[in-house]
Amino acid sequence: MQLNFKILSILFFAVAVLAGCSPDPKPNGDQVDNYYFVKVGDVALPVRVCGNINSDIAIVFIHGGPGGSAQGERGNIYWKEIEKYYKVIYYDQRGSGVTQGNVPPSEMSIEQFSEDLDNIVDFTKQVAKASKVFIHGASWGGGLATYYLLDTTHQNKLKGAIIESPAYDIKNGAVLSIQWMLHKADSMIALGKNLDYWNNCKNYYAIHPFLTYNEFKQHQSYLTQVFGLVSNGANIQVQSISTPKVELALGYSNAEFAPATLTYEGQSIFTHLDLTSKLNQIKLPVMLVWGAQDGLLPKNNLAEKFVTNVGSLNLKYDDTKYLLSAHLPHFEEWQQFDVDTKAFVEANK
């Protein structure tokens, strides 16, 4: 139940350096696990600091959604391996997860979320005692990470960024996702499978040629049927972890509130978020990861466009990796992701 909720919470928008290219750090047995709230205005963001207590390197994880939560993320076995070497900072975004305080819709903007993230980065340096900070944004979190990096001042606080299946261009990505889904529907029809269902699917997109928040739940449901969200589920491994006590209704309420209200330049992220023209402003080291089977944010167009436009001269991206993954490579092929992340961090620390 926890895994299913976590997957659903990060699915909406929720590199290659071989391990031998840089020395693999040796794990240390001393681990930290502390819980905080970072106050930004009238909102208190829950933050969990875990991992190697002696490391001066931290990775700030930026969860997906919008409206997801990072508090269950440690259940993914990938983080158990990363925490052996580094500190990991898990925080919930404004109006998401178990964030405390009243959040008016006027504060639900990527601009405000970026300011919140900047506070978390400062907290990581000052309280978590990590002088070398990396960020890892996945799905929607990858879009937020991309926006955060457009500010040179923000880049100067970091050693690098791990960007995973980023929702940096939802406006066009949604159109590409519909095309991907229609192709899959045609394939199912050609196989003679559930003809009524897949014909209804095609009719749905004929009526809704553009996705807004209201249509997105149904779109995700269709994607799930053809493994466009999770393709390599058999490889996903989870561990038992403690999580903050919270009313389950709050998590679901935030999962509805955040995507319904989140804006970019005053307009819905679903119809207006496209950072392509600004990617050239990103100059710091970047590791880009994208699953080949991703139906939510199809790799073939979006990954190539990111690589072409990003301004970093230190971009690590390997088009031949993560061939089994859909939208969640650090879940679906966590072994490879672990190797690549440690190599990237060690090369840029």
Residue where the block lists tokens 């449901």: 221
Residues 154, 151: Cα–Cα separation, whole Å: 5
Percent of the chain with pLDDT over 70: 91
Per-residue pLDDT for 26 more than 70?
no
Residues 76, 206: Cα–Cα separation, whole Å: 38
pLDDT given for residue 36 in this prediction: 95
Tens-place pLDDT, residues 40-52: 999 999 999 999 9
Q: Tell me the pLDDT band of 25, cut-offs 50, 70 and 90.
A: low
Q: Which of 256, 321, 309, 304 is nearest to 279 (CA)?
A: 309
Buried-state track 152-182, b at ≥16 Cβ within 10 A, e below 16: eebbebbbbbbbbbbbbbbbebbbbbbebbb
Half-sphere exposure of 179 (CA within 13 A, CB side): 10
Please return the burial class of 334, using the count of CB atoms within 10 Å of its CB with bins 0-12, 13-18 and 19+.
buried
Per-residue pLDDT for 295 more than 80?
yes
Q: What is the pTM of this model?
A: 0.91
Residues 132, 283: Cα–Cα separation, whole Å: 17
Mean of the pLDDT values across residues 189-199? 96
pLDDT given for residue 98 in this prediction: 87
Please provide the average confidence, as pLDDT, over all residues in the chain. Answer: 91
Q: Which of 123, 103, 115, 107 is nearest to 147 (CA)?
A: 115
Residues 182, 192: Cα–Cα separation, whole Å: 15
